[in-house]
Structure 1
Amino acid sequence: MSSPGAGSAPLNVVLGVGGGIAAYKACELLRLFTESGHRVRVVPTAAALKFVGAPTWEALSGQPVSTEVWEHVHEVPHVRIGKSADLVVIAPATANVLAKAAAGIADDLLTNTLLTARCPVVFAPAMHTEMWQHPATVDNVATLRRRGAIVLDPAVGRLTGADTGPGRLPDPSAIFAAATRVLRRGPGAADLTGVRVLVTAGGTREAIDPVRFIGNRSSGKQGYAIARAAVARGASVTLVAANTALPDPAGVTLERVESTAQLREAVLRHAAGADIVVMAAAPADFRPAAYADQKIKKAAGEPVPVITLAENPDIAAELGAAKRPGQILVTFAAETATGATALEYARGKMTRKRADLSVLNEVGGGRGFGTDDNTVTILDAAGGVRNLERAAKEDVADALLDAARGLTVH
């Protein structure tokens, strides 16, 4: 299943809207779907209409809006809407909607639609922290995920009133990106349900003084693409991001770091509970041996300061040495060498770090860093080689997860 484009029919998306204050954000999500060429039917709950009225949804979607199965009965909407859907997205998914969906309750048009849908279903929860963390909600989310639904973890941030914490609806653009990935994969999208994935992304910075640092050109785009793809496939994803300017992906647990030492501390803390560890970040190999507390000044006639470097720890090698049975370690090798030489370098790194998969990323000449596509070779410990020529980073992400999934023993 692919997104609509030139010469292809639009796909049917059901946008379910729960009765929470974040319902107004679903208007932006609806706009993103319609402007992408999809046909969207909005199915709100009766409580949702207390926040955003039916005329708004009808005007934005061009489709009729109802909440009850008793309206337009001759069309059998409680069956037809779900059966004709290519994707169902519930945003915001309140604690009440999640509970009804988990229990199979069908007391309005939205919950009937959920029972009749045979397409991928994405829930974007939004509620107060206490409600999200309540054991009943935790159990309901686990049940829905076990059945193959994609339940995004909510964002952390300002809620209603002065409250702050996990429970905020992710940004509509992030929900749209996650839903698009699910829509692209179609039925069977949640093939990583129950799998815990740790992804690193971005480039570390090693401070010279309060102003300057040693860094690299990594944008984090490939790591973020892997995190988004894993979420869209049902995985529980932790993303450790170093110095990126990218928007937060929906549904991940995000931790930001700056230096290689901070990256190492975060990765070692999260890796013990991960089934797949993808080291897509670019940690600096070296750091200044000494940090200057004050900005290093340039003075006429004075010699140029000499910066002595010290070697940073090899995080991937530490993970490989501590890898537990069944855990999959994926490393990246960014090389300016080409052909057989680059392949030899990547294979050697994979062996030294005891990785299960290695992604050879030939960089330079407009390739790799900061672009939306990548030229990579995926190597496995058994000697397998798969080349991906100028593939979108989203496609590289899915290819890599396919390879990792093939090695994972559930």
Structure 2
Amino acid sequence: MTIQPDEVERLIKRDQLDALLASLPLTLGANVFVSLSFCAMMWGDVAPGILVGWLALNAAINLARLWIARAVRRRGLLDTAPDRVLAHAWIGALVSGLCWAWALVACAQAGQAYNIATGLTFCGINAGAVVQSVTNRVSTLAFVLPNSAILIVIYLTSGSTQAQIMGVNLLLLTLLMVRASGRGERNYVAAARLRHEADHLAASLQRANVAATAALRQLDHAANHDPLTDLANRCAYRRAFEDRLARAARGEGELTAMLIDLDRFKAINDTHGHAAGDAVLVEVAARLRAALGPEDVAARLGGDEFAALIFRPRMGEADAALAERIVRDLAAPFGLGGRTVRAGASLGLARFPRDGRSLQDLQVAADVALYAAKSGGRGTWRDARRSTACDPGDMPARPQEAAPAPRVARG
């Protein structure tokens, strides 16, 4: 859950630039309005040509700044290079501030620098700039300081005590505006940093949670599945068996347990190697999955021993038909990189509750049926209560019952 400082700083710069660009239309609109008001108040006291020229220059500067702001958004620089754009944003503000400073010089030459309208106009527009732009101190001060400095110098260097007192007050006001501008930017940056660090932390926690969930899912899958065939392992098979036994006991469906042994797997391993044997086991698992239904469970119990749990609302002869299909499917040849091998399989099945009511009883009954199938020539299946072999393609209606036989080693 590492927070990336560089990314947070980039996002802070982006927020600063976004806020600056968003406030620009209102700020520049107010700038033009105040310039019109100022020219109206100074009309007759300052040469009309100077006022009109200054008004046109100020409007052109503001329009150019507005066009640049829109170009920044249009070109995507807000997201790709916010720090670079923000680093140069003060230039437009400085040009605008120098334009207003020129108006002060023109007023001073016309003897109107001490006019109350002049002082109020410039103090008001400077204070408005500080209040409106709290995201970037450099741009704000680039506009405020040129005309404030000239206005202070004009008042302090005059011969009037009242004007000098006004100059001192303007100096204090300017210092307060500089301080307020810096504090506003610091507060904005601190709030933005907290917000983005919180966002990064939340994203990191979400990623960690997703990774932990995926890891737990993988661990759960590994704990319940055979690593080679991805079938259920012994543990998962036992849980599924107990679950379906309970459901069958409640009358929710009918259950048949099957045990399956490959007939010639040892010969495949000895002749073609263990890699070929593994490939056969994987293909056996695929054929079992294809044969079983959504409520059925296929498992690998170890080596070449497989099992299946068949759960249906009404079984009828479905388990017998499925046993015949499994034996037939596993009798088909397996392709091993250009070679063909045959394994074949024997299968024994036991039904609940006829052949047993517990997991152990049904397992023993299915095992006895499997032994009977192997003893009867392999490549066939047997019912736990029947003795007649059922060959693929020749499934009888119901085989005859056979007495349980002792279990022997399989191969």
Which of the pair is proportionally richer in helix? 2
TM-score w.r.t. the length of structure 1 is: 0.21
Higher alpha-carbon Rg: 2
TM-score w.r.t. the length of structure 2 is: 0.21
Which of the pair is proportionally richer in strand? 1
